Chains A and B, each alone.
Chain A
Amino acid sequence: MDPTQITLVQAHAMLRSRQISARELTTAFLERIARINPIINAFITVDGEGAMAAARMADERLAQGTATPMTGIPVGVKDLFCTQHLTTTCGSKMLARFRPPYESTVTRKLKEAGAVILGKTNMDEFAMGSSNETSWFGPVRNPWDIRRIPGGSSGGSAAALAARLALATIGSDTGGSIRQPAALTGTTGLKPTYGRISRFGMIAFASSLDQAGPMAWSAADAAMVLQVIAGHDAMDSTSIRDDVPDYSAHLSTRMEGLRIGIPAEYHPESLNPEIGQALDEAGRVFGALGATLVPVSLPHTRHAIPTYYIIAPAEASSNLARFDGVRFGHRCQDPVDLKDMYTRTRSEGFGAEVKRRIMLGTYVLSSGYYDAYYRKAQKVRRLIADDFHQAFQKVDLLLTPTTPGTAFPLGEKIDDPVAMYLSDLFTINVNLAGLPGISIPCGSDSQGLPIGMQLIAPILKEAPLLSAAHAFQTATSWHQRKPEL
């Protein structure tokens, strides 16, 4: 048996019954990474030594009976979660050698639960991108077709999973950065409610939208990871105080009485027809499981992308001001004065997409433009959130495609920012409204590339969301398809 081909749920059972040790499991994954990562570039940093040390501790806990469901589970973490003493690059030259003196809350909780962190996964620079081509450390390749992109910005986390380089990974999602790559790699990716997981130690892109989340091979696996990383954190004033339910215990295969809304606005003409067909088929599966499909409308949907591309760059332009070469990160050689140091440090340290968004954000916040752009965008954001609120009066969940198309070839959209931004057409609204959303595999196109669908739930309804995804995965096998590598 190849231990890299089992699920997290299975691995936990085997660890607990001592059929496999954490060291054996970790070794298997490290070996697989050594073989496959050079092809797909999913990891920026592999921490073999740290992983083996964590695996030894996990074995002790398993022996002592103090293990948690995550003890000994090898995971990958997107490289924007600060890990103490382990390089955290955020996919940028700016932080290529940055070793944080502190630990993000997400990785601290993973470590405390006994998870084994294999390394830091590749990503679009500062999480800005939808194809993982903006990474300073090179693009990530889609394990389904290495000439294609895996999606972004959590492209490394998605590709690592699809290539079976970890049992689960952690991503972050500001406008679709977990769900879009999950869809394009045939994996399961959950963006929880804004504030459900602490943002402390997660390098900020757009603070009012950023949210960490689990990526896994199934909803059941994702539930186990979410269980560990969710919860209030005194270090993050925007984290939610509500108790964390037992997500695994809430998983059910029954959907009787569940009403699933199909928003009319999510089936535009630009939608790949194969994705449309896959969604129709998924609807039939839900119907067979007992759910009722209800047509709904989210009338402000078409404003999502312009709204997002005002708010997110505005926050980013401010969040990225701290990368000035004074205290950490890249600093240009021999600056002649302060302005020279700022200009060259930032010109050299940031890539083109990051610069584009800093300029966009600076512009929309500028005196005389604030009311026309930023303030108006905040109003539209409220209207978008109200749309969802209205819809959830009638239905329990919403079902939409995750992406308008399947994985596209490297280089196809990198020089056309608007085409690239449209990749997040169906995911961005969920961030603007702060809702939980999950992408799960629901088909494949004529070229065999995965198709993902998105389920959206009301605030803090991660448990029914995961349960619906689990029910679907119990009835289908799309999530079990594996790319040939």
Chain B
Amino acid sequence: MANDPLYETIIGLEVHAQMLTRSKIFCGCSTTFGAEANTQICPVCAAFPGVLPVLNRELVQMAIKTGLAVHGTIRERSEFARKNYFYPDLPAGYQISQFELPIIERGELTLDLESGEKKRIGITRIHMEVDAGKSLHEGIQGASWIDLNRTGTPLLEIVSEPDLRSSREAGAYLKKLRSILRYLQVCDGNMEEGSFRCDANVSVRRRGDTRLGTRTELKNLNSIRNVMRAIDFEADRQIDLLESGGTIVQETRLWDANLNTSRSMRGKEEAHDYRYFPEPDLPPLVITRERIDAVARQLPELPDAKAIRFSRELGLSEYDAGVLTSSREMASFFEETVQQGAHPKTAANWITVELLGRLNREGLEIEQSAVTPRRLGRLIGLIQSGDISGKIAKQVFELMFETEADPERIVAERGLKQVSDTGAIEAAVDKVLAENPTQVQQYREGKTKVAGFLVGQVMKATRGKANPAAVNAILQAKLSG
């Protein structure tokens, strides 16, 4: 089993993240997704004879940003290389990538494990490379079609150390990495559209062994859930194989999400010989200290730093701080809510409990929320000013979600404003006391618990709008009087 007491699972991940540059890596073509086939191509990205690549400067900025965000070393001199293989959607017959001298080396990510521990995951390297086009085979008789629109889209390949020990850690790593890339606004992290792709290298070994077992590479993992399921399946497969006296074969396996299984795609013998060599069409990339410093100054606050600030300066629990910084959208939702004057702890509560609860039920992301941070902040403001009670606020919140109206308008239109006027409350209390002589008698005989019933009756009589604190005080005074 994946959590086998006898075996340990060793995982390393290779992530391909499409960078959100406006144009392609080596030419001026647009990188927009979903255009009609072969409309976003030129002689350069279609690799016509004699054309040459010119490196996109924006991509280098994004790579530096990413390197800084994962505390990596940015090489002063890096180099592009050609990875040679034949495939119709790879027009040049080689992929321009980086091989011996990648732009970034030795980074790390810190995971917050469910146990509350923190775990450091090493990042071996990050390099820039070009994406290939797409081959279309389905529904075509006796031919394949090639769409080169994606050819030339810039990618960062982010390679982790084999530091991950479970599918859960792998999932947490991907979420954290994706969140950082989104914070940096360098990648949209969309796994379904393929702008954030992951291959997993998996091996198992008996606990206590120091040598790594033979690994397999898993491909076609198009969601974090599939990454995790494929890893569990692979670890189980390898353990079963070893337990039954077999040996693991180094191979590439393709995950089939529909069948919940994987199958061998190619073995070690069929592995490509990519014949890497330095790309002669591009001079070595030199990055000065000044350039790195300039990028560092523009770096946004990243999730770890934000979480620390949220808990130290705003008094949030570490858990809430973690949830509220898990994505750039979540953090800015929270911060905008607080900007409206909402108390940070109250805002955190409303977002993590009410808002996320509702969004989860509806299957929506926070950026799709019908309740904007501005409105949520003002709703919390109404509670803080005593205009409505927390209970009424929940009612208003649900209405805001459905009608997308301002909280003030809902409160006014529905007459939900809290009654703090002692005269009106006194009248209601008097009426309730007069209608419930038995309970009044019981209270006076020492059964003070009935006070709760009487408060409830007053609230009911005022349709929940009475200020509960005021009701309590007046009721106590009258009963004791």
Question: Footprint of B on A, CB under 8 Å?
Answer: 80-82, 88, 90, 95, 98, 100-102, 104, 199-204, 206-208, 234-238, 314-315, 317-318, 320-324, 326-329, 338, 342, 362, 365-367, 370, 374
Contacts and interface: CB of A to CB of B under 8 A. Distances in A.
Contact of A327 (B48, B50, B281): B48
Contact of B50 (A100, A321, A367): A100
A202 to B, nearest CB: 5
B273 A235 contact: no
Given A100-B50, A201-B50, A370-B275, 17 more contacts: A82-B48, A90-B49, A100-B49, A102-B43, A104-B50, A203-B50, A237-B283, A238-B283, A314-B277, A315-B277, A318-B84, A318-B94, A322-B49, A322-B91, A324-B93, A328-B49, A374-B277
Given A95-B49, A318-B82, A365-B275, A326 B54 contact: no
A165 to B, nearest CB: 24
A237 B46 CA distance: 18
Given A314-B277, A374-B277, A235 B86 contact: no
A102 B51 contact: yes
Contact of B48 (A237, A321, A328): A328
B52 interface: yes
A327 B91 contact: yes
Contacts of A315: 277, 280
Given A235-B54, A238-B283, A374-B277, A365 B84 contact: yes
A321 B84 contact: yes
B92 interface: yes
A33 B85 CA distance: 43
B91 A326 contact: yes
B237 to A, nearest CB: 28
Contacts of A234: 54
Contacts of B275: 317-318, 362, 365-367, 370
Interface string B84-125: 101010011110000000000000000000000000000000
Contacts of B54: 234-235, 237
A-side interface mostly: loop
Nearest to B92: A322
Contact of B49 (A203, A326, A365): A203
Contacts of A328: 48-49
A208 B46 CA distance: 21
A80 B84 contact: no
A201 to B, nearest CB: 5
Contacts of B91: 322, 326-327
Contacts of A98: 49
B146 interface: yes
Nearest to A321: B93
A88 B51 CA distance: 14
B282 interface: yes
Nearest to A368: B273
A434 to B, nearest CB: 12
Contacts of B273: 366-367
B48 A207 contact: no
List the 6 closest A-B pairs by CB distance, nearest first. Answer: A321-B93, A207-B280, A365-B275, A208-B280, A203-B49, A203-B50
Q: Max chain A CB contacts within 10 Å: which of B47, B51, B283? A: B51
Interface string B42-86: 010011111111110000000000000000000000000010101
Given A366-B275, A374-B277, A82 B282 contact: no
A200 B51 contact: yes
A237 B281 contact: yes
Nearest to A206: B280
22 contacts: A80-B50, A81-B50, A88-B49, A100-B48, A101-B43, A102-B48, A199-B52, A200-B51, A200-B52, A201-B51, A208-B280, A238-B282, A317-B275, A318-B84, A321-B92, A321-B94, A322-B91, A323-B49, A324-B86, A326-B88, A326-B146, A370-B276
Interface in B274-291: 275-277, 280-283
A207 B93 contact: no
Contacts of B283: 237-238
